[in-house]
Amino acid sequence: MREHLPILLVVLPMLAAPICSMLPRGRQAWLLATAVSWAVLAIAASLLIRVHAEGTISYALGGWPAPIGIEYRLDGLNALVQVLVAAIAACVLPFSGRSVQDEIDADRQPGFFALLLLLITGLLGIVATGDVFNVFVFLEISSLATYGLIAFGRDRRALLAAYRYLVLGSIGATLYLIGIGLLYALTGTLNMQDLAARLPAVADTRTAQTAITLVMVGLGIKMALFPLHLWLPNAYRFAPSAISAFLPATATKVAIYLMLRFVFDIFGVGFAFGRLELNEVLLALAAAAMLSASLAAMQQRDVKGILAYSSVAQVGYIVLGAALATPIGLTASLLHLFNHALMKGALFMAMGCVMLRVGRTDLDAIRGLGRRMPWTAAAFVVAGLSLIGVPLTAGFISKWYLVLAALEAGWWPLVILILVASLMALIYVWRVVALAYFAPNESQRREEAPLSMLVPLWLLVLANIWFGIDTRLSVAMAESGMRVLMAGPP
Amino acid sequence: MSPQLLMLSCLCLPLVGGGMLLLAHRRPRLRELILVLTAALSFTSALALLLQFREGNLLRLDLLTLLPGLDLMFEIEPLGALFAVLASGLWLPTSLYAIGYLRARKEEHQTRFHFWFCVAISATMGIAMAGNLLTLFVFYEVLTLSTYPLVTHIGNRGAVRGGRVYLGVLLATSIGLLLPAMLWTLHVAGTLQFTAGGILEGKLAPALAGLLLLMFVLGVGKAAVMPMHRWLPAAMVAPTPVSALLHAVAVVKAGVFTITKVVVYIFGTGFLGTVPAQRYLVYLAGFTVIAASVVALRQDNIKRLLAYSTISQLSYIVMATLALAPLALTGAGLHMVAHAFGKITLFFAAGAIYVAAHRTQVSELDGMGRRMPWTMAAFAIGALTMIGVPPSAGFVSKWFIIAGAYQADLYFVLAVIVLSTALNAFYMLPILHRAFFRAPEGRAHGEAPWPMRVALVSTAAASVLMFFFHAPILALTRSLTGAAP
Amino acid sequence: MSWLAHFNYWAVIVVMMTGLYMAIAQSDLMRKLIGITLLQTAVFFLYISFGFVRNAQVPILTEGAERYSNPLPHVLILTAIVVGVATTALGLALVVRIRERYGSIDEAELASLADEVEDLEPHHDFDDQDEHP
Amino acid sequence: MISLLLLLFLAITAIAIVRSRDTLTAVMLTGLSSLISACLFLLLDAADVAFTEAAVGAGISTLLMLAALHAVAPVRPQPRRVAWPALIVVLLCGGLLAYGTLDLPPFGAAENPVHQHVGNHYLEQTEREIGVPNVVTAVLASYRGFDTLGEVVVVFTAGLAVLLLIGRPRRKDEERDAR
C-alpha cells in the first residue's frame, strides 16, 4: 500500500469523480468530495514527509521502468506543490458547500463536484508525473474541467470567459504539444530525466531552441504570464465563488511549477538562460506584468476583478524570482508561489462570502461590510495586508526574499519595481478596505457568512499570519525545492 | 522576575489588557478599571526594566526566528529603556484622560478605541526594545496599522480622508524607502543587529552611505522630516487622546527614536562623521524646524498648530542627532522626554477646552484662563517648554543641544535654534495673552471632567519637575553617547 | 534537395498557422473552434511524420518484416485525437449556450453586448437583461 | 510523391477554410481536411491513427460541428477582413516553426534518434513482454496505459461538462432569460 501512495493520490479523486457525478443529491456529492480532498491532503503530506526523509520517490506506472513506461517522480519540489494543491482543495471544498448550494442549480451540483474532483486530479497528475506527454494529458483533464467549472458562473459572461479560456488554453496546450514533439524528434524520449540527459547533445540545434520557445509560450498561456494573461481576469471574475477561490491558488501555480521544471531541470539553466537568454525575456515580461496588471487592478470596479488582475501581477513576482536563477531568487519565487496561494485563496474566499450574502462583489457591494460581515471583512483586511507585504504576514517574507535576491543580483531597478508594485497593491487593497469600513450603507443589518465558510477562510488567514511569523517550515520547504532546481539536469 | 520575563511582560501586558477589554466591553466601569490597571502595570514593568538595566544586567530576548539569520529579538539599551518608560509612563495619565474624554463626548465604539490604543502601546514597546532593525521595522509597521483605526475613529468623511493621508504617507515611506534601506544595509553589512559603533563602517563608500542615510531619514516618515510631514496634521482628525499620546509622543518619538538608533547603532557616529552628505541632512532638518514653525504661526486651529509645532520640535531632535556631537546627542535624548511632557500637556489642554467649551480655534480662546484656570495654567507650562524657557524641561534639552552645536562648531544649528525659539514664542505667547488678558465671552462653563484635569496637571507638573530633577535622564542619555564613542 | 526534404514540414506549418489565425482573428466563435481543430490536425501530422521510416511497415509484428515505423508517435496521437475532439465538443457546447443566452456568437457583438449591460445597470444580476433584442 | 500532393491539397483546403465566408462550408471543408490527413497517416504507416482520425476527426467531430451549427443557426457570413496584428503574430509563429524544422533529423531516416531509443524497445520487446502483434495496441494498453486512462478521463470530463452545459432542461435559466 505504502509504495502505491504516489499513484493513489491521483487515482483517488479520479475514481471518486464518476461516483460523485452519479450521486442524486448535491449534499452527498459535496460530502464525498470533501472527504476525498482530505484524504488526498493526508496522502500528499505523508508523501512530502517521506520525500524529506528518504529522498526522491520514483514510481513506475504499470511496472515499466522509466523511459519505457511512464514514471511518477516526487522530489522536494513537486511533493511540496502537491501538498499546496491538496491543502487548498481541502480548504475550498468545505467552504464550497454553502456557496454551491446558493449559486448552482440543485440538479447540477453533483456534476459540479465531480468536475472539481477531476480538476484536482488533473493538477495533481501534472505535478506528479515525470513524463512530458503525460503532462499534456493531465493538463487537458484539468483544463477541460476548468472550462466547465467556469461556465457554471451565474453571470452569462461566465460562458464567454470560459469560451475564451478554452480557445486560448487549447492554443497553449497545442503549442506545448508541438514543443515536446520537437524535443521527442530530437531525443527519442518523453521522460523528463531522460530528456534532460539527452538534450545537451542536441542543444545547439535550431529545433531545440524552437522547442523550448514553444513550450514556454504554451505554459505562459496556462500560467497567465503577461501578455498571455488575457483569459484570466474574466475567468476568475465570473466563475462560481468556490472556483475563483480554488483556481488562482492552484492552477497557475501548477503551470509555474511546470515552467520551473522545464527550465531548470530539463533544459538546464545553462541552456535556457545562458545560451538563449530567456531569463531576460522573462524578467522583462515579469516587470511588465507587475506594473500593467497592478495598474489595471487599480481601475477595476469589481473586487474579484481587482483580485484577478492582482494575480497576474503576482505571477510576475514569481517569475521574476525564478528568472534571476540564483538560489535566493528561486527560494523567493517558490516562497511566493506558496504564500500567494494562501493569500489569494483567502481573499477570493472572502469574496465568496460576500457573494453569498450580498449576491455581487462590485465595489458598491463592499460598502459597510465591516459592520455587516465583520469576520469576513477582517479576513479580507489581513489577507490584503499579506498581499501588500506588511510585516508579520506571509507576503512580507516572500517579498523580503525577492528584494534580497534582486539586490544580490545587483538589479537595482527591480528593487524599485517590486516596491512600486507593492505600493500599487496598497492602493487597490486599501480602496476596498476603506469602503468596507467607512462607506455608509443603508443596510446595517448583520449578516455574517455561515461558519462552514468562515472556518476555512480563517484557516487560510491564520496560515498567512503563521507563515509570516514562523517561517522555518515554509523557508525550509522552499529551499529544498530550490535545491532540486539548482541541482539542474542530472 | 527575570529580565527576559520583564521584557516579555512589557510587550504583552498591553495586548493582554486589550484582550480583556474586549471581553468586558459590555461593562464600561470594569473595562476602564482594566485599562487603568494595564497602564499602571505596564509602567511598573517598564520602570523595573529600567532599574534592571541600570544595574548593568544584560537584557536580551530572542523571541523567534522571522527569517533565517534574522530573529525577532529585543535588547535594551539606554535610549530604548528611556523611551519605554516615557511611553508607558505617559500612557497612565492618557488612559485616565481618554476615559474622561470619551465619556464626556459620548463617543461610540469606546472599547474598540481602547483596544487599538493598547495594541499601539504594545507596538511602541516593541520599537523601544527592538534589538535589530528588522524587529524595529516590524513593530514600526504594526504601530502604523494599529493607529489607523484610531485616527479614523470618528468615521466621518474628514476622518477617512485624514486616515488615507496618514496611512498613505506612513506606509509608502516605510515600504518605499525604509524597507529598501534596510535591505541594502543587510546586503552590505550582512546583519541588522544594533551594534555599538555601527555595522556599516568600512563597508560602504561615503557617497553611497549618504544616499542610504537619506533613505533612512526620509523613510522614517514618523519623524516627519519635510517633505514627509503631511501625515501629522492629517492625523489631527483623531480624538484628542490619540493626538496627545500617539501623535505627540509614541508615534512621532518612535520616528526620531528610529533615526537615532540608525545613526548610533547602524552607521555609528564615527563612520557618519566621514560621510559628506550627512551635513545636508542637518540642513534639511534645520529647514524643517524653521518652516514648520512658520506654518504654525499661521494656524488658527489649536490642534493643527500643535501638530506643526511637533513637526518642528521633532526635527530639533533629528538635527541634534545628526550633529554628531556628544552633547547634542545627549540633548536629543533629553529633548525627546522634554517635548513629550510639554506637548502632551498642550494636547491635553486643547482636548479639555474642546470638551468643556467646544472650542477648537485659537481665536476663540479669549479669557479662557479665567474659565479654566487649571487647564490654561498647564497649557502655559507646556508652551514654555516648547519655547524653552526656565523653569521648564525644554530649557534643559535646548541647553544641551546648543552646547553640543557649539562644541562641534555647527553655527547653522545654533542659528536655527535661536530663530526657532523666537518663532515658537511668536505663536505660543499670543495664545497665552488671549487666554489670560482678554475678557471671556459667550456662555459660562467650567473645567473639563476630573480625570482629564488630573492627567493634564500631572504631565504639566512632570515637565516642571524635569527641569529640576533631570539627572537620572541625563545619566541615561550620557551612557548613550558612551555607547557610541 | 534540402528544401524538398522540409517541404512536408512547411506545408504542415501553413496548415497550422491557418488554424492559429482562425482561432485568434476570426470573430465567429464556431470558426475559432474550427481553427483549433485545424491546428491540432496539423500537429498530429507532425508527430506521425517524426515516426515515419522509409521503406518500413505498419508497426504490427509480422513474419519476415525487417523494419517498422515507430509506434510511439502513433500512440501519442491516438490519445491526442481523442483529447482534441473532447475539447471541440466542450467548445461547441459553450458556443451553443452562448448563443442561447446572448443571441449571438459573434465576438465583436458579444463584447459590445456585455459592455452595454454593464453600463446600464451595473448592480444587478446581468442575466435579468433581455437577451433577444 | 502522393503524400506530397496530398499535403499540398491539405494546405489548399486549409486556406479555403480560412477564406470561406460561410461557416457550413468551413465545417465541411474541415471534415475534408481530416479525411485528407487520415489518408496521409495511412501513407505514413500509421494505420490505427488513420482509422481513428477518419472516424473521430472526420466523423464525430464534423457531426458535432454540424449539430452545433444547427443549434446556433443562422450564422452571419464571415466578413473578409484581414486582421493584421493576428496575421503578424501568426507569421512570426510560423517563421519560428519553419526555423525550428530546419535542424530536424532527416525525414523518414531509420537512423533518427526517435527510432533508436524507446521506440525501438517497443518493437523489439513487445512480442516477449506483451505478446500482442500490434505494437501500437501494446504501447497504448500497457507501456503507456496510464496515458490511455488519462484519455478516458478527458473524455469523461468533457462529456460531463457538455452534459451539464446543455444536457438537461435548464428551467431556471430560461425563466431568468425570459424575464
Supply the pLDDT for residue B96: 85
Q: How far apart are CA B229 and CA B226, in angstroms?
A: 5
Confidence category of residue C114, pLDDT binned at 50, 70, 90: low
Chain C residues in contact with A166 by the CB 8 A cut-off are 87, 90-91, 94
Q: Can you give the CATH number for the domain in which C71 is found?
A: 1.10.287.3510
Q: List CB contacts of D5: < 8 A, sequence separation 6 or more.
A: none
C131 touching D, CB under 8 A?
Answer: yes
Q: How far apart are CA A250 and CA A396, in angstroms?
A: 21
- Verify whether the Cβ–Cβ distance D118 to A189 is below 8 Å: yes
The DSSP line for D24-61 is HHHHHHHHHHHHHHHHHHHHTT-HHHHHHIIIIIIIII
| Contact yes or no for A290/A417 (Cβ under 8 A) | yes
Cis, bond preceding B68 (omega within 30 deg of 0): no
| Contact yes or no for B457/B378 (Cβ under 8 A) | yes
Q: Is C23 helix (H, G, I), strand (E, B) or coil?
A: helix
The grid coordinates of residue B372 equal 479654566
**Does residue B71 register a pLDDT over 90?**
no
Q: How far apart are CA B456 and CA B450, in angstroms?
A: 10
Supply the pLDDT for residue C34: 92
- Verify whether the Cβ–Cβ distance C92 to D114 is below 8 Å: no
**Does residue A193 register a pLDDT over 50?**
yes
A191 phi/psi in degrees, rounded to 5: -75, 135
**Least Cα separation, residue A145 to chain D (angstroms):** 6
Q: Pick from C83, C98, C101: which is nearest to A140 by CB?
A: C83
DSSP state of D102: T
Over residues D132-174, the pLDDT tens digits come to 888 888 888 888 888 999 999 999 999 999 998 887 555 555 5
Q: How far apart are CA A489 and CA C115, in angstroms?
A: 49
User: Mind spelling out the 3-state secondary structure of chain A?
Assistant: CHHHHHHHHHHHHHHHHHHHHHCCCHHHHHHHHHHHHHHHHHHHHHHHHHHHHHCCEEEEHHHCCCCCCCEEEECCCHHHHHHHHHHHHHHHHHHHHHHHHHHCCHHHHHHHHHHHHHHHHHHHHHHHECEHHHHHHHHHHHHHHHHHHHCCCCCCHHHHHHHHHHHHHHHHHHHHHHHHHHHHHHHCCCEHHHHHHHHHHHCCCHHHHHHHHHHHHHHHHHCCCCCCCCCHHHHHHHCCHHHHHHHHHHHHHHHHHHHHHHHHHHHCHHHHHHHCCHHHHHHHHHHHHHHHHHHHHHHCCEHHHHHHHHHHHHHHHHHHHHHHCCHHHHHHHHHHHHHHHHHHHHHHHHHHHHHHHHCCCEHHHHCCHHHHCHHHHHHHHHHHHHHHCCCCCHHHHHHHHHHHHHHHCCCHHHHHHHHHHHHHHHHHHHHHHHHHHHCCCCCCCCCCCCHHHHHHHHHHHHHHHHHHHCCHHHHHHHHHHHHHHHHCCC
**Rounded (to 5) percent helix, strand, coil in chain B:** 75, 5, 20
* Percent of residues, chain B, with pLDDT higher than 90: 4
Q: How far apart are CA A144 and CA C88, in angstroms?
A: 10
Over residues D66-90, the pLDDT tens digits come to 999 888 877 777 777 788 888 999 9
Q: How far apart are CA A337 and CA A250, in angstroms?
A: 9
Containing domain of residue C40, as a range? 2-128
**Closest to A343 measured CA to CA, from A422, A433, A249, A430:** A249
D2 touching C, CB under 8 A?
Answer: no
Confidence category of residue C44, pLDDT binned at 50, 70, 90: very high
Average pLDDT over residues B83-91: 88
Q: Which of residues 25-84 of C touch D (CB under 8 A)?
A: 25-26, 28, 30-31, 33-35, 37-38, 41-42, 44-45, 48-54, 56-62, 67-79, 81-84
Please list the residues that pair with A302 across neighbouring strands. Answer: A362
Chain B residues in contact with A411 by the CB 8 A cut-off are none
- More confident: B196 or A41: A41
User: What residue has cell string 495533481?
Assistant: A124
Chain A residues in contact with C40 by the CB 8 A cut-off are 170, 174
CA B412 to chain CA mean position, Å:
25
**Least Cα separation, residue A385 to chain B (angstroms):** 10
**Least Cα separation, residue B138 to chain A (angstroms):** 5
The complex's ipTM works out to: 0.85
In the chain, the amino acid numbered A218 is G
Chain A interface mutation, best of C94, C115, C132, highest count of A Cβ atoms under 10 Å:
C94
The grid coordinates of residue A401 equal 526574499
For A324-327, which contacts have Cβ atoms below 8 Å and span 24 or more sequence positions?
A324/A279, A324/A283, A324/A405, A324/A406, A324/A409, A324/A411, A325/A264, A325/A269, A325/A273, A325/A279, A326/A405, A326/A408, A326/A409, A327/A482, A327/A486
- Verify whether the Cβ–Cβ distance A144 to D118 is below 8 Å: no
Domain count, chain C: 1
- Verify whether the Cβ–Cβ distance D56 to C81 is below 8 Å: yes
A138 touching D, CB under 8 A?
Answer: yes
Find, in chain C, the residue whose alpha carbon is nearest to that of A178: C43
Chain A residues in contact with C126 by the CB 8 A cut-off are 155-157
Average pLDDT over residues A306-330: 92
Supply the pLDDT for residue C120: 36
**Does residue B69 register a pLDDT over 90?**
no
- More confident: B371 or D37: D37
A302 phi/psi in degrees, rounded to 5: -120, 135
B72 phi/psi in degrees, rounded to 5: -85, 100
B63 touching A, CB under 8 A?
Answer: no
- Verify whether the Cβ–Cβ distance B187 to A415 is below 8 Å: no
| Contact yes or no for B67/A400 (Cβ under 8 A) | yes
Lowest mean pLDDT among B330-334, B366-370, B478-482, D116-120: B478-482
Chain C interface mutation, best of A68, A140, A144, A159, highest count of C Cβ atoms under 10 Å:
A159
- Range among A137-151, A222-236, A398-412, B270-284 with highest mean pLDDT value: A137-151
Q: Which of residues 326-385 of A touch D (CB under 8 A)?
A: none
- Verify whether the Cβ–Cβ distance D165 to C97 is below 8 Å: yes
Over residues B23-56, the pLDDT tens digits come to 888 888 888 888 889 989 999 988 888 888 877 7
Distances (CA, A) of D113 to A245, C6, D117: 45, 18, 7
* Percent of residues, chain B, with pLDDT higher than 70: 98
Confidence category of residue D177, pLDDT binned at 50, 70, 90: low
- More confident: C121 or A287: A287
The grid coordinates of residue A238 equal 465570473
**Closest to B269 measured CA to CA, from B327, B323, B340:** B323
**Closest to A490 measured CA to CA, from A124, A154, A75, A176:** A75
Supply the pLDDT for residue A443: 67
Q: How far apart are CA A378 and CA A370, in angstroms?
A: 7
Supply the pLDDT for residue B188: 86
Q: Are strands A71-74 and A57-60 parallel, antiparallel or unpaired?
A: antiparallel
- Verify whether the Cβ–Cβ distance C80 to A177 is below 8 Å: yes
Q: List the end-to-end C-alpha distance of chain A, in Å, as a whole number.
A: 29
Q: Is B67 helix (H, G, I), strand (E, B) or coil?
A: strand
The grid coordinates of residue D96 equal 519560428
| Contact yes or no for B156/B141 (Cβ under 8 A) | no
**Least Cα separation, residue B347 to chain A (angstroms):** 26
- Verify whether the Cβ–Cβ distance C114 to A157 is below 8 Å: yes
Cα angle A320, A321, A324; round to 5: 90
| Residue C40 is assigned to a structural domain of this protein | yes
Number of other residues whose CB lies within 10 A of the CB of residue D111: 10
**Does residue B9 register a pLDDT over 50?**
yes
Q: Which of residues 21-50 of D touch C (CB under 8 A)?
A: 23, 26-27, 30, 33-34, 37, 40-41, 44-49
Chain D residues in contact with A115 by the CB 8 A cut-off are 157, 160-161, 164
Over residues A336-365, the pLDDT tens digits come to 999 999 999 999 999 999 988 888 888 888
Q: Which chains touch B (3 or more CB pairs under 8 A)?
A: A
Q: List the end-to-end C-alpha distance of chain B, in Å, as a whole number.
A: 33
In the chain, the amino acid numbered A174 is T
- Verify whether the Cβ–Cβ distance C49 to D44 is below 8 Å: yes
**Does residue C126 register a pLDDT over 70?**
no
For residue A380, the number of C-alpha atoms closer than 13 Å in the C-beta half-sphere is: 30
A408 touching C, CB under 8 A?
Answer: no
Distances (CA, A) of D106 to A189, A214, A343, D109: 17, 21, 51, 6
| Residue C90 is assigned to a structural domain of this protein | yes
Burial of D13 (0-12, 13-18, 19+ CB in 10 A): buried
Q: Are strands B70-75 and B60-67 parallel, antiparallel or unpaired?
A: antiparallel
Supply the pLDDT for residue C59: 82
Q: How far apart are CA B213 and CA B234, in angstroms?
A: 26
| Residue C133 is assigned to a structural domain of this protein | no
Cα dihedral value B252, B256, B258, B264, nearest 10: -170
In the chain, the amino acid numbered C55 is N
DSSP state of B1: -
Q: Pick from A115, A133, A214: which is nearest to D161 by CB?
A: A115
**Closest to A108 measured CA to CA, from B97, D166, B75:** D166
Chain B residues in contact with A437 by the CB 8 A cut-off are 152
| Contact yes or no for C114/A160 (Cβ under 8 A) | yes
- More confident: B25 or C33: C33
Find, in chain A, the residue whose alpha carbon is nearest to that of B140: A391
Find, in chain C, the residue whose alpha carbon is nearest to that of D128: C61
Average pLDDT over residues D24-32: 91
Chain C residues in contact with D87 by the CB 8 A cut-off are 21, 25
- Verify whether the Cβ–Cβ distance D155 to C77 is below 8 Å: no
Supply the pLDDT for residue B484: 41
Chain A residues in contact with C80 by the CB 8 A cut-off are 136, 177
Q: How far apart are CA A41 and CA A91, in angstroms?
A: 10
Q: How far apart are CA A60 and CA C116, in angstroms?
A: 55
Over residues B267-304, the pLDDT tens digits come to 888 888 888 777 888 888 889 999 999 998 888 888 88
| Contact yes or no for A190/A262 (Cβ under 8 A) | no
Confidence category of residue A170, pLDDT binned at 50, 70, 90: very high
Mean pLDDT, all residues of chain A:
90
Number of CB pairs, chain A paired with chain C, less than 8 A apart: 92
Q: Which of residues 207-246 of A touch D (CB under 8 A)?
A: 207-211, 213-214
**Does residue B125 register a pLDDT over 80?**
yes
Chain D residues in contact with A163 by the CB 8 A cut-off are none
Supply the pLDDT for residue D132: 82
Supply the pLDDT for residue C5: 64
D12 touching C, CB under 8 A?
Answer: no
**Does residue B260 register a pLDDT over 90?**
no
| Residue C112 is assigned to a structural domain of this protein | yes
Q: Pick from A21, A108, A207: which is nearest to D101 by CB?
A: A207
Q: How far apart are CA B235 and CA A72, in angstroms?
A: 59
Q: Pick from B152, B171, B180: which is nearest to A403 by CB?
A: B180
Q: What does the radius of gyration of chain A's CA atoms come to, in whole angstroms?
A: 21
**Does residue B245 register a pLDDT over 60?**
yes
- Verify whether the Cβ–Cβ distance D100 to A188 is below 8 Å: no
D76 touching A, CB under 8 A?
Answer: no
For residue A464, the number of C-alpha atoms closer than 13 Å in the C-beta half-sphere is: 30
Number of CB pairs, chain A paired with chain D, less than 8 A apart: 127
Q: List CB contacts of A370: < 8 A, sequence separation 6 or more.
A: A377, A378, A436, A437
| Residue C75 is assigned to a structural domain of this protein | yes
In the chain, the amino acid numbered B455 is A
Supply the pLDDT for residue D175: 52
User: What residue has cell string 535542424?
Assistant: D103
